[in-house]
Amino acid sequence: MLLEVKKLSIEFHDHDVPERVVNKLDMELEAGDILGIVGESGSGKSMTAMAIAGLLRRHDMKTEGEILFEGEELLHAKRDTLRQYQGNDISIVFQEPMTSLNPVKRIGWQVEESLRIHRPDMSKDERYRRAIEVLTDVELENPEIVYKKYPHELSGGMRQRVMIASAMICEPKLLIADEPTTALDVTIQLQIVKLLQRLNREKHTAILFISHDLSLVKRLCSKIVVMHNGNMVETGTTEEIFHNPKMDYTKELLRAIPRLEKIVF
């Protein structure tokens, strides 16, 4: 088992009344698998992702439960232990490609950053070759030119590919994709999903795909977790969820998928 989340609860304590955003969540992810987390805005799916990525270490926040990555507890681990995994075995792609790249640094520099941290013995040339390799992997044309560009010179879809490239550069075992397609238009969404699929197949990277777009989740994921108000509503294989949903909320979500035949001209 690559990732096990056991009874994860997340509470905000920055107001008088604690606010519970994730409530006793359980989930599992096998190596090389793709798990989808779906739910509406505010259902706690991004919070779960952040917790797994180790980004929820704030004093106004209380976390309970366990997050086991290859058997190692990460939720309450020491920062140094956590840093060994971050960027190396676990990496993340954010929703907004416009803000997730540093505007004053060249693409190449940003893609290589993880290597500088986790493979300090690599030489400059090796880093450059590796960066070009991943930029090619994410199907960017002219990687040598992209390498030298600044983020504002790229389109949204290209930036998201760059983000995936920099997430993949250390060949992580787990890639967390936090609504990676939400800010992109539909044709690009599909390309990104296909890209993730291919990377999963070729590199055996497990993917935690967070989305509110059920049609994309259906295309990509083998298992699905449905979340609502911080609770896990239902979980199962994609087949089960789509063809035999048990809970009312899941049925509602499925009904909300726009279908072509419903459009009246």
Partner 1 sequence: MEKKRAYSLNFIIGAVITGVMLVLILTGFIHTPYDITKMDSTAKLAAPSLEHLMGCDNFGRDIFSRVLKGMGNTFTIAVATVAIGAVCGVLIGAFTGYFGGWLDEVLMRINDVVFAFPSILLALVFVSIFGTGKYNVVAALGIAFIPSFARIVRGEFIKYKDMDYVKSARLAGVPKLRIIFVHILPNTMPVLMSSIMIGFNNAVLAEAGMSYLGIGVQPPDASLGSMLSESQTYLFSAPWYAAFPGLMIILMVLGFSLLADGNTKRV
Residue of 117, 145, 186, 256 that binds partner 1 (CB under 8 A): 117
CB of 235 to partner 1, least distance (A): 26
| 47: contact with partner 1 by CB under 8 A | no
Would you count residue 145 as binding partner 1 (CB under 8 A)? no
The only residue of 47, 134, 163, 177 in contact with partner 1, by rule CB under 8 A = 163
Structure tokens at 192: 């990104």
We find the least distance from the C-beta atom of residue 50 to partner 1, in angstroms, to be: 9
According to CB under 8 A, which one of 55, 145, 186, 256 is a site residue for partner 1? 55
Cβ partners under 8 Å of residue 101, min gap 6:
107, 110, 151, 159, 162, 163
| DSSP per-residue letters across 31-49 | TT-EEEEE--TTSSHHHHH
Q: What is the largest CA-CA distance in the chain?
A: 62
Whole-angstrom distance, CA of residue 33 vs CA of residue 31: 6
Query: Per rule CB under 8 A, is residue 31 in the interface with partner 1?
Result: no
| Nearer CB in complex with partner 1: 94/249 | 94
In terms of phi and psi (left: phi > 0; alpha: psi -120 to 50; beta: otherwise), the region of 23 is beta
Kindly state whether residue 237 participates in binding partner 1, applying the rule CB under 8 A. Answer: no
Choices 9-17, 27-35, 114-122, 124-132 (CB under 8 A): range interacting with partner 1 = 114-122
How far CA 93 is from CA of 156, 183, 207, in Å, comes to 13, 12, 11
The answer to whether 179 and 46 are in contact (CB under 8 A) is yes
Helix (H, G, I), strand (E, B) or coil at 56: coil
155 lies in the site for partner 1, by CB under 8 A: no
- Please give the single-letter amino acid code of residue 126: E
Yes or no: say if 173 and 125 are a contact pair by the CB < 8 Å rule: no
* Cβ nearer to partner 1, comparing 88 with 211: 88
How many CB atoms are located within 10 Å of the residue 237 CB?
12
Q: How far is the CB of 46 from partner 1 (least distance, A)?
A: 12
Which element (helix H / strand E) includes 68? strand 61-69
Select 36 or 54, whichever has its Cβ closest to partner 1: 54
Residues linked to residue 211 through DSSP beta bridges, in sequence order: 38
**Binders of partner 1: how many residues, by CB under 8 A?**
30
Q: Which of residues 164-203 bind partner 1 (CB under 8 A)?
A: 166
Residue 228 CB, shortest distance to partner 1, in Å, is: 25
The minimum distance between CB 256 and partner 1, in angstroms, equals 28
Beta bridge partners of 22: 10
Q: Is 48 in the site for partner 1 (CB under 8 A)?
A: no
CA-based radius of gyration for the chain = 19
Task: Check residue 75 for interaction with partner 1 (CB under 8 A).
Answer: no
Among 41, 71, 103, 261, binds partner 1 (CB under 8 A): 103
Q: Where on the chain is the footprint of partner 1 (CB under 8 A)? A: 53-55, 59, 82-88, 90-92, 94, 96, 99-105, 110, 113-114, 117-118, 163, 166
